[in-house]
Chain A
Amino acid sequence: MITTDRLKSDIVELFELDQNTNIDNSEPLFGDGLGLDSVDAIELSIYLDNTHSITITNLADTQNIFASIDTLVEFINSTGEKSA
């Protein structure tokens, strides 16, 4: 299980954001929201594999999963140790 706060702090570290960056739980992580890009999407999939043993086989299918902190927390906690 991962908490929302833990995921936020992992994301701040992973993407080298400023320590005090405030990410809204429902804010889009990509595009016009926080502003992550396609390279970050790959970094995020590596993080899921390394930290949560979740393998993403097709990045194109991750649009809904990577949408926001809320969707990502739900995905990690519902997928657990299984592969996506």
Chain B
Amino acid sequence: MSRVFINAYASHSCVGADSELMQSIYAKKSGVKSDGEYISSKSVAIGKFNDIEFFDALSRATSQLLSSSSLKSFADTLLIVGSSVGGMATSEKVYFATGSYEQIDPALHTISVISDMLDREFKFKQSRSVSTACTSSANALILAHRLIKLGVYRSIVVVGADALCHTTVCGFDSLGVLSSSACRPFDIERDGMNVAEAVAAILLQDEMTDESIELVGCGASSDAFHITNPDPEAKGAIAAMCAALDEAGVDASMVDYINAHGTGTEANDSVEALAISKVFDKTSTYVSSTKAITGHTLGAAGALEAIVSCEVLKQQLIPPQSALKTQQNGDISLLKEPLSSCVKYVLSNSFAFGGNNTSLLFALPQQKSAKVAASKCKNFKIVSSAQIDSPLKIDSLNEKELVPKMMLRRRLTRLARIAIYLADQCSFRDGLIVFGSAYGELKATADITTAIFNKEPISPTSFQNSVYNTAASYLSLLHNNQNEIITISSGLKTSQDLLKTAALQATYHNRAVLIICAEALNIPKIDELDCKIDLLEQGVAILIEPTDDEAEVCNKKGSPHSPSSSLYDMLDIISNKKDGSIISLEL
């Protein structure tokens, strides 16, 4: 296995660009400010860029990343973007100006608008997009780690990017969790979180330089407890942290600092403190949440806080917990001032809606690295497959049979219903899932923007259901499945990237993976929307497992094609291959 090094990074957040991030963290100078743009009825504090538009910050950070690396271009580099809202802010502007969905350009709405823009400007070898809400870029880093470790790529750029928008600010407000001032994680007087925007770009390579920080372990899990509330026993968070330590072969006592998810909400902080206290000894491991400085940058948080983790290792200086007066969670060690210390290992936590948990473990590299080169294709057996191609069929599903528990069944989104049906057809209950959708749960998204436009209260149920990974999370809730879930949203090449991600997950874990791609464009005023998006409500699922048997022909080798629908590549496989066939997939 190759080792994985972080060799360059660049960021932009509400505290400014690049080195301003750590200066603000160590000086306890928050960039979060009170704002009236998104919610007029009351004061909420958010983290907004001071001097730059979102897409300009994205371009600047990526350009800075390239110039601070040893690369001349990104021509041989894979781009993995993690974002929770993609082009939502652009769609909102159009909708709020016209009161109609008609003028919204689907290509500028999707998660993949970020990778599309970066690809146009910087010409990456390939790109893909992950959308698992607040773990989006942490999951992007996990996929990058595995691809380099297996020798599939030598160089990968991960970009975490989320712009502020009404949907997230008003959505979190509907859950009653926004603070009117900079958040105070783990403090007895904390009163909520701050939504913020950020761009964080990281270059991961298989070669060690004098400046390298090593990504030594990654862990991920699902709570299978509730879509927005964390499991009070913290089983999922503990599992993710332990998996990161296990992969690195590092004992918990060796971890010097944890950059906590620490949103400043009662629900997160108490559960995370419990999880940390169950795994780590407070005498040897310090904790802080830098969201008090940057706000919660949602899909960008994993990458932004990975940069913080790398800097802590380089500067050998542990960040304080900003805004801490009286600690509530007494079972973890927080500092009120920076502490100069010998720092060898740093863990970074990110948790998300859907009970999606990630932990990343960073280290100062010890010895010289070894590299491997691996085939980009692996063979898999199609264990089972299923397809649903008509809204009528989805309407007629016997949901009581599929989902006996009413309290779960009542909130199922359209995408979740498709996913649950397809998983059932594939006889899948427990295991790894990769889910994909180009547009996500559009009904929930439209319900939110319509409510904002009409100045009506936002349904918190719509907000939790609007997140791209909710559908797969409902599936894991149904079967108490605590395995990793990755959700991909790469526009029209979603199923193409899903197959690659599934091939990676199946190879890395040497286990079966259920792949589901689905779209549910059943928004209420569909005739206003159908001008730009082909009407589509369908899903396809394939359960694959790794095999050493020979494939008949390698699937889709050569140059990437332009698919006509987000499901195209998976539909192509099931229309040409029977269950039991061996296929070759690119990782």
Contacts and interface: CB of A to CB of B under 8 A. Distances in A.
A49 B459 CA distance: 13
Interface in A34-53: 34-39, 42-43, 46, 49-50
A36 B408 CA distance: 10
B408 to A, nearest CB: 10
B226 interface: yes
Interface in A17-61: 17-18, 21, 34-39, 42-43, 46, 49-50, 59
Contacts of B411: 16
B410 A17 contact: yes
A34 B461 CA distance: 18
Contacts of A43: 459-461
B580 interface: no
Given A37-B229, A49-B457, A42 B406 contact: no
Interface string B174-212: 111000000000000000000000000000000000000
Most chain B Cβ neighbours within 10 Å, of A39, A43, A46: A39
Most chain B Cβ neighbours within 10 Å, of A21, A36, A43: A43
Given A15-B410, A17-B406, A21-B406, A39 B457 contact: no
Nearest to B457: A46
A39 to B, nearest CB: 5
B407 interface: yes
Contacts of B461: 39, 43
A59 B459 CA distance: 15
B360 to A, nearest CB: 29
Interface string A51-80: 000000001000000000000000000000
A42 B460 contact: yes
A35 B407 contact: yes
B176 A42 contact: yes
Given A39-B464, A59-B176, A16 B457 contact: no
A38 B176 CA distance: 10
Nearest to A58: B176
Interface in B444-460: 457, 459-460
A19 to B, nearest CB: 11
B228 interface: yes
A77 to B, nearest CB: 23
Interface in B220-263: 226-229
B74 to A, nearest CB: 42
A50 B464 contact: no
Contact of A42 (B175, B226, B227, B410): B175
A16 B410 contact: yes
B223 to A, nearest CB: 14
B233 to A, nearest CB: 16
A51 B459 CA distance: 15
Contacts of A15: 410
B352 to A, nearest CB: 16
Contacts of B176: 42, 59
B410 A39 contact: no
B48 to A, nearest CB: 26
A18 B461 CA distance: 17
A43 B228 CA distance: 14
B175 A37 contact: no
B404 to A, nearest CB: 11
B312 to A, nearest CB: 34
B229 A46 contact: no
Contacts of A39: 175, 227-229, 460-461, 464
A21 B407 CA distance: 11
A57 to B, nearest CB: 11
Most chain A Cβ neighbours within 10 Å, of B227, B410, B459: B410
A38 B229 contact: yes
A8 B506 CA distance: 48
A52 to B, nearest CB: 14
Contacts of B410: 15-18
Nearest to A15: B410
B520 to A, nearest CB: 17
A48 to B, nearest CB: 11
Contacts of B227: 39
A15 B461 CA distance: 10
B399 to A, nearest CB: 10
Nearest to A39: B460
B4 to A, nearest CB: 38
A46 B406 contact: no
A57 B460 CA distance: 16
A38 B229 CA distance: 8
B353 to A, nearest CB: 11
Contacts of B226: 37
Given A16-B411, A39-B175, 10 more contacts: A16-B410, A18-B406, A21-B406, A36-B407, A37-B229, A39-B460, A39-B461, A42-B175, A46-B459, A50-B457
21 contacts: A15-B410, A16-B410, A16-B411, A17-B410, A18-B406, A21-B406, A34-B407, A35-B407, A38-B229, A39-B227, A39-B228, A39-B229, A39-B460, A39-B464, A42-B176, A42-B460, A43-B459, A43-B461, A46-B459, A49-B457, A50-B457
Interface of A: 15-18, 21, 34-39, 42-43, 46, 49-50, 59
Closest 5 CB pairs of A and B: A16-B410, A35-B407, A42-B460, A46-B457, A39-B460
